[in-house]
Amino acid sequence: MKMKRGILIICIVLSFLFVGCVPTEGNTEVEETQVDPSNNDKGADPDIKDFSWLRDYFKDYEFAVSSNNGYEVSGEYDLNGDGINDKIKTSLSVNSYIEVNDKTLEFYTDNPTGELKIIDLDSNDNYLELACFDDGPSGDPHYKLFRYNGEELIALGEIDSGAIMDGRGKYISWFSMGVNFKPLFYTSWQELVDNEFVSRDHDVSQYIGETYELSGSGFFVPLEEAPKNYHEYISWEWESMKDFESITVKILEIYSASQLFIEFEDGQKGLLYFWIGD
């Protein structure tokens, strides 16, 4: 709080100092944008309509794949946008590594399939990234991402295969989406900032009290009121499992994209939650 006030005072002092050189009309705007720079960096929450499946951003390019105690994948593509093709090679086995030109990066894989793709994570920059598929330890399919900027080969992290992307450096994990609801909603998104994915919380209050169409298999425990500690009520008993087919529900509370408090049309309320893997 003290810090904020300090920044505010500095801004006011600065705006007085600059009054002489800045046109009067622009002053108000300049002050406002200076007061809370963190908000400006973040921008508005993304609109889910701008997102589509990860694979929609794959380039139409096939690497040569050979398998023998793992996979050897190789090809050529311009990854850093300098107009010169880059030599790409990856070996997927117990000791996996990826190579672009003379740069090598070792990485860990559980269950690779030899699938390597070229993806454009952010159309605002000249880079294209490498996405290496790994089925994970127990059916947790994801892509490991690498960027080559001409000087370095950088591991950017992972994106789950069910994620959606906007092609401008943002993605929404499958686990952050209310996949059983229509319209689809989300609880958080990831943003690529300086070669790292940063998690951003999405304000879900806009979804509360709204009506949705619910489909699929979930668990339901009738409750009068939304519990504070919903974990205490979650059980994976078969009798709690329900199949929903285009049922109209009202969302009253969102704990996570797969754990909610809802109300059916007949007025029955309760905790609704989904099995999203181990």
Considering only the stretches 26-34, 72-80, 138-146, 204-212, report the one whose residues sit in contact with Ca ion under the rule CB under 5 A.
72-80
Task: Give me the least distance between CB of 192 and Ca ion, in Å please.
Answer: 10
120 binds Ca ion (CB under 5 A): yes
Considering only the stretches 5-13, 38-46, 116-124, 222-230, report the one whose residues sit in contact with Ca ion under the rule CB under 5 A.
116-124
Task: Give me the least distance between CB of 141 and Ca ion, in Å please.
Answer: 23
Direct distance between the N- and C-terminal alpha carbons of the chain, in angstroms, rounded to an integer: 41
Q: Which CB sits closer to Ca ion, 9 or 84?
A: 84
Task: Give me the least distance between CB of 81 and Ca ion, in Å please.
Answer: 7
Query: Three-state DSSP class for 218?
Result: strand
Contact of 258 with 175, CB cutoff 8 Å = yes
- Which of 125, 135, 160, 213: binder of Ca ion (CB under 5 A)? 125
Which residues in the 80-109 window bind Ca ion by CB under 5 A?
80, 82, 84, 86
Q: Which CB sits closer to Ca ion, 31 or 125?
A: 125
122 binds Ca ion (CB under 5 A): yes
Contact of 145 with 158, CB cutoff 8 Å = yes
Q: Own/partner pairs for 252-257, CB < 8 Å, 24+ apart?
A: 252/208, 252/209, 252/226, 253/208, 253/226, 254/178, 254/185, 254/187, 254/204, 254/207, 254/208, 255/230, 256/187, 257/175, 257/176, 257/177, 257/178, 257/179, 257/185, 257/186, 257/187
Which residues lie near Ca ion (CB under 5 A)? 78, 80, 82, 84, 86, 120, 122, 125, 127
